[in-house]
A and B are shown apart, each in its own frame.
Chain A
Amino acid sequence: MVIRALLKRNTYYDSITLMSVAQAAKDLPGVEDIGAVMATEVNLELLLNANLMPTAFLAEQQTSPGPEDLLIVARAIDESLAEAALAVAEERLSSRAERGAPSSTETLPVRSLEMALKRDEAANLAVISVAGEHAWLEAEQALRHGLHVFLFSDNVPVEQEQRLKILAANKGLLLMGPDCGTAIINGIGLGFSNVVSRGSIGIVGASGTGMQQLICLIAATGMGVSQAIGTGGRDLSEAIGGVMMRRGLELLANDEQTEVIVLVSKPPAERVAHEILAAAQITKPVVVVFLGTAAERFASEAGNAHMARTLTEGAELAVSLAGGDRTRVPGKDTLNKYDLEAERAKLEITRVASKAPQQFIRALYSGGTLCDEAMLLLSEQVGAIASNIPLRPEWTLTPGETFRGHTALDLGSDEFTRGRPHPMIDPTLRLQYLARAAEDPETAVILMDIVLGFCAQQNPAAVYAPAIVQAREKARDAGRSLPVIISLCGTEGDPQRLSMQRTALEAAGALVYESNEVAARAAALLVSDAIHQAEEVHHD
């Protein structure tokens, strides 16, 4: 074990920056811990207590560091790794400083739409990510300049969204958003996006992680995506009326490369669903995934459209219609009955032996749509699912409640991400919930999603695998078996590499599924049996 340190005098960074830098350095292999604090007297004591005190380093300093100095300390298994961790930290801090502080000799950064257009007159799409209250203004300017818009910002009032989408539609433009998490336009990923080859399936989606799941399942069959157009989650609401989904559908209908179109959304407003289905009566095959909506509900309006109830079913239909092999979609066939049986047996044995009340699913999601899909499927199997984004008002978690019976949390929703990065980027919050779920004797199964791709965490398995091992070991020490199921959404081309992530997570004892539907069904299977067993014990 080696401790190395770096001192930056009279240097100030906000704590979010320091935490993110420390996390990046800590993710390196062989790095045990990182401290990044102002060098106050008590923080030196804190470093000592955390086994991070750089005693020799401090002794070398001509002037002792003080409260205005930033001290970064790395503890690693050897010197080179400790130095590497500090180098990563310093490089990250420097690059942030440079990004925020261009020198006078550098080209001035683009600070307005007009400046950007002067730099590149051929640009025809603006990516906007500014505070929600100002985002509509930037979006309107871009539309008035004739640009398509990818609007990543959230908190845009619905009235502004309505107005902007009408403006975009009148100009024949796309307004993707607000709160648009992902898109792939002409092969270029925007926002959170996965690496997939270009192909013949086009997608229009009012759901970020829903589109990512579709894209990844399609990629798993070797097929590709022509375009993936996000619309923002409210597009199919009564207020917005599906303006952008219809526009996206129209564009894909006229796109030569697109042979099959998939439309995906959370449950839409009734009137809007009918209008979308009417617009979908075109010569190209259209697959419609209105999550959780029974195909029979729209049987009379579906016409030529192929209705799918889940993302996996949507991917299977799209692949099949595009001439691919639908059996290659990692769907229900991947439900490894042997592994599942083994986990179920262990769960039953330990639960009966300890008389522990293990009977509930605890789902910890980072993707809102994936969480929605899981809740829809789980509720059919196990009943009420408490949540911060509940399917029914009476299933809402109240302030102070972490879990209540079967629980599914969307940890990427606003109340969890205020003041901190999204859980797809920073795992800290979800690790805390994982530990709490594991400690709860009522938890029978933990279900989580891990979403790979650009902008997502660099190496999620490096963080979650040890946490899963620890959670399962702690449960075992308490006499409980604790299955952990992962819905892993990614492609082999993603920076994190799907296979590497899968291997590491499986080695940690997790059951890993690429289909969120299958992951949810696996969780339901395990817990259904637990309930059955609990009833038997009760009767005994």
Chain B
Amino acid sequence: MTVSLVATDYSRPLQPIFEQEPRAGTIHSVFHKAVNITLDDTILALLSDELPRMPNSVRLPSIGAGDLLPQLRPGMEVWIGDGRLLIPTRSFLLHLPERPAWEPRPEISAHLWRREIVARHVRLLALYLADQAQQGGLALLIRPLLLERPAPDSPLSRMALPKLRMIAQASWRQDITGIEDATRGLAGLGPGLTPSGDDALGGFISIMMLLSPQLSADGASRVYIANTIAATARPRTTALSAVLLAHAACGEVAEQLGTLLLTLTLPAEAPEAVLNAADHVLAFGASSGGDTLLGILLGLRTLEGELN
């Protein structure tokens, strides 16, 4: 008997994939509450709705996810199209809901952006991140990058730190060669299925794409830098990372990241909402959240034009 469920929600960029004729994909990787599915040149994430929305996600009710996901294996066939997702070997059918898709691009233009307020939030978040002691990733490089404090010494930080400095400086100067060089040193660097370097790049890209028109101190948009970074990183990292970087280059980010960006418009005198949103970003993965926040803060500081 086929088990049929209605998805909790789905991300807008997936709409065309679901609207076309059904096509076969395969299960790429299976986790406790998430399954990645390869289809053509992209990867979709089938998530339990206990997890936050991703730009490439379809979420299903947690009770259904708890039953289904443990039965799935890498390599299993999945059919997607006609508004449905079918896993034949498990007789499982997922329909998209009637309501509109979730929009992963935050509504930047609906808010008033003030450089001095954002700068104060950046300073606060840098201090907050510096004290988080994230495991294994790059987050603590916030100390030398933004706070002029010593860097933790490890082979990973020794490789990443000069490249992070380089990407900030090259992005400010709009030096494409420098941006590509720094990206090649960061893409695929570090532990995890989305390596730390990619998470930091993802945060940085999202700032260049979404906020450089509003916040660049010299008034120049740096939107094109996002595409340069994503394209340079693509052949040098995991397929999942490359897909998420491509989404970031379109301004499409995870739910908790979009929420954090919008809190940067709130008054600097009441930082609780900003820190609370940062907590949700930090909670993502073992080190991914801290790495992403590092990239965001580096991107925002780059736009201030003071890192040169």
B-contacting residues of A (Cβ < 8 Å)? Answer: 10, 12-16, 18-19, 36-38, 40-43, 45-46, 49-50, 67-68, 100-102, 109, 111, 131, 133-134, 399-402, 415, 418-420, 428-429, 432-433
Contacts and interface: CB of A to CB of B under 8 A. Distances in A.
B132 to A, nearest CB: 9
A420 B236 CA distance: 28
A101 B69 CA distance: 9
Contacts of A419: 282-286, 289
Interface string B3-44: 000000000000000000000000011111000100000000
Interface in B259-308: 271, 275, 279, 282-289
Contacts of A41: 188, 236
B286 A37 contact: no
A19 B135 contact: yes
A307 B289 CA distance: 47
B131 A401 contact: yes
A418 B286 contact: no
A247 to B, nearest CB: 31
A68 B70 contact: no
A100 B32 contact: yes
Contacts of B239: 67-68
Contacts of B70: 100-102, 109
Contacts of B83: none
Given A42-B159, A42-B187, A49-B158, A429 B135 contact: yes
Contacts of B186: 42
A18 to B, nearest CB: 6
Nearest to A12: B29
B162 interface: no
Contact of B191 (A36, A68, A111): A36
Given A15-B136, A15-B288, A399-B127, A43 B158 contact: no
Contacts of B271: 399
Nearest to B242: A67
Interface of B: 28-32, 36, 50, 62, 66-67, 70, 73-74, 124, 127-128, 130-131, 133, 135-136, 154-156, 158-159, 184-193, 195, 197, 236-240, 271, 275, 279, 282-289
Nearest to B150: A439
A400 B130 contact: yes
Contacts of A111: 66-67
Contacts of B158: 49
A111 B66 CA distance: 8
A134 B155 contact: no
A436 to B, nearest CB: 8
Interface centre among B50, B187, B190 (most CB of A within 10 A): B190
B29 to A, nearest CB: 4
A101 B190 CA distance: 27
B195 A38 contact: yes
B155 A19 contact: no
Nearest to B75: A10
B131 A38 contact: no
Contact of B238 (A38, A134, A433): A38
B155 A46 contact: yes
A399 B131 contact: yes
A50 B155 CA distance: 6
Contact of A67 (B124, B237, B286): B237
A409 to B, nearest CB: 11
Contacts of A102: 70
Nearest to B135: A428
B64 to A, nearest CB: 12
A155 to B, nearest CB: 12
A133 B63 CA distance: 12
A14 B188 contact: no
A40 B74 contact: no
Contacts of A16: 285-286
A42 B282 CA distance: 25
Nearest to A39: B188
A134 B62 CA distance: 10
Contacts of A415: 279
Given A40-B236, A49-B158, 4 more contacts: A37-B190, A40-B195, A42-B236, A402-B131
* Chain A to chain B: the 8 pairs with minimum beta-carbon distance, closest first: A40-B188, A12-B29, A15-B192, A400-B127, A49-B155, A50-B155, A15-B286, A42-B189
Contacts of B130: 400
17 contacts: A14-B192, A15-B193, A16-B286, A18-B192, A38-B192, A38-B195, A41-B236, A46-B156, A50-B154, A50-B155, A67-B237, A100-B30, A102-B70, A133-B50, A400-B124, A401-B131, A419-B283
B107 to A, nearest CB: 27
Contacts of A42: 159, 184-189, 197, 236
Contacts of B287: 15
Contacts of A18: 191-192
B135 A40 contact: no
A418 B188 contact: no
Nearest to A13: B193
A14 B238 contact: no
A14 B283 contact: no
Contact of A101 (B67, B73, B288, B289): B73
B157 to A, nearest CB: 11
A271 to B, nearest CB: 32
B31 A40 contact: no
Contact of B133 (A19, A131, A429): A429
B31 A10 contact: no
Contacts of B236: 40-42, 67
A37 B192 CA distance: 6
Nearest to A133: B50
B279 A418 contact: yes
Interface centre among A10, A420, A428 (most CB of B within 10 A): A420
Contacts of B136: 15, 19, 428
Contacts of B195: 37-38, 40, 43
B191 A37 contact: yes
B160 to A, nearest CB: 9
A433 B133 contact: yes
Contact of A40 (B66, B154, B187, B285): B187
Contacts of B124: 399-400
Contact of B28 (A12, A67, A428): A12
A101 B30 contact: yes
Contacts of B155: 46, 49-50
B159 A40 contact: no
A76 to B, nearest CB: 18
B88 to A, nearest CB: 15
Contact of B128 (A50, A399, A432): A399
A15 B286 CA distance: 6
Contact of B189 (A46, A100, A109): A46
Contacts of A402: 131
Interface centre among B135, B197, B275 (most CB of A within 10 A): B135
A111 B63 CA distance: 10
A43 B196 CA distance: 11
A87 B94 CA distance: 40
Contacts of B188: 38, 40-43, 67
Contacts of A432: 133
Nearest to A433: B133
Contact of B31 (A14, A19, A433): A14
B282 A418 contact: yes
A442 B9 CA distance: 53
Given A67-B239, A100-B32, A46 B190 contact: yes
A19 B286 contact: yes
